[in-house]
Amino acid sequence: MKGMFYSFVIITALASLASCHQAKQSTGSASIVGTHWQLIEVNGEAVLPDEQLKRGPHMILNASENSVNGNGGCNSFFGSYELQGDNGITFTNIGSTKMACQNDAMQIERQLIQAFEMANKFTIRNDTLILTKTDMSPLATFIVSDMK
């Protein structure tokens, strides 16, 4: 009987540790990793859908490679990310293709890349992801999108 009790305690402790790890990646209904995040705001300015684009600016974090990829509205981008502590995140080695596009798309893209370079925190509320730098206004805001 004691053996069963200790097994139960160990299994419960392991399950608890696993749920703590997941909490670092998600604080709402969506997980930051593996979700298609559609950009809706950058530096406090709304990002409106462009009828000519097949996909709007978006990103996806890949857990197996700690990579980020997506599209800034014109060019594809790629790089690495690291989750740290309670809702900490850093992006590194961000690069992109170099197609020329309309000025508005290029401006949004530049601001998004700058947001990745500055961000060190994230918050998820329901299906909204907000990247921030500690104690600053939101740098970029995303919503969950079913587009992949």
- Residue (of 29, 83, 81) closest to 60 by Cα position: 81
Phi, psi of 97 (to 5 degrees): -70, 170
pLDDT of 12 strictly over 60: no
The pLDDT tens digits for 46-92 are: 998 766 555 689 999 999 999 999 999 889 999 999 999 989 999 99
* Residue ranges covered by each domain of the chain: 2-144
Q: Is 60 exposed, middle or buried (0-12, 13-18, 19+ CB in 10 A)?
A: middle
Tokens coding 26: 């998600």
Q: Domain spanning 2-144 has what CATH number?
A: 2.40.128.270
What's the Cα-to-Cα distance from 142 to each of 11, 60, 96, rounded to whole Å? 36, 11, 19
